[in-house]
Amino acid sequence: MLERKLRKNRTEVTFVLPADTPPGPVSVVGDFNGWQPGTHTLRPRKDGMRAVTVELPSSSTHSFRYLAADDHWFNDDSVLDLDGPNSRLHT
């Protein structure tokens, strides 16, 4: 699930997943971080979810996926727009 907060010239996008599905560490990996695993690792929240927030330019488009333990790549089920095998995010 994605949460968005619009700011003056940027959008704060929060990537949110359940705390235990999939198990183990999960990071969001995309063109906004050079596809580098571990750059944006999801952290536990008080509401029982885990999340990480990334600041992106407003009116931009980005491709991303999640990477979990054991090299398990997956898309965000709440994002219907795809870019090949990747989820596509519009800010």
Judge whether 91 lies within some domain.
no
Contact of 12 with 91, CB cutoff 8 Å: no
Q: What is the mean pLDDT of residues 74-90?
A: 92
Judge whether 20 lies within some domain.
yes
Q: How many domains does the chain have?
A: 1
Judge whether 90 lies within some domain.
no
The model's pLDDT over 19-49, given as tens digits with 9 standing for 90+, comes to 988 999 999 999 999 999 999 999 999 999 9
The residue range of the domain holding 79 is: 2-85
Q: What is the mean pLDDT of residues 58-78?
A: 94
For 28-46, letters b (16+ CB in 10 Å) and e give bbbebbeeeeeebebeeee
For 12, the enclosing helix (H) or strand (E) is strand 10-18
Question: Token pair for residue 90?
Answer: 């519009």
Q: What confidence category does residue 12 fall into, taking pLDDT thresholds of 50, 70 and 90?
A: very high
The model's pLDDT over 43-59, given as tens digits with 9 standing for 90+, comes to 999 999 999 999 999 99
**CATH number assigned to the domain comprising residue 26:** 2.60.40.10
Model confidence pTM above 0.85:
yes
**67 torsion bin: left (phi>0), alpha (psi -120 to 50), beta (else):** beta
Judge whether 55 lies within some domain.
yes
pLDDT at position 80 is 87
**Distance set, CA 35 to CA 44, 73, 77, 87 (Å):** 22, 12, 19, 13
How many percent of the chain have pLDDT more than 90? 87
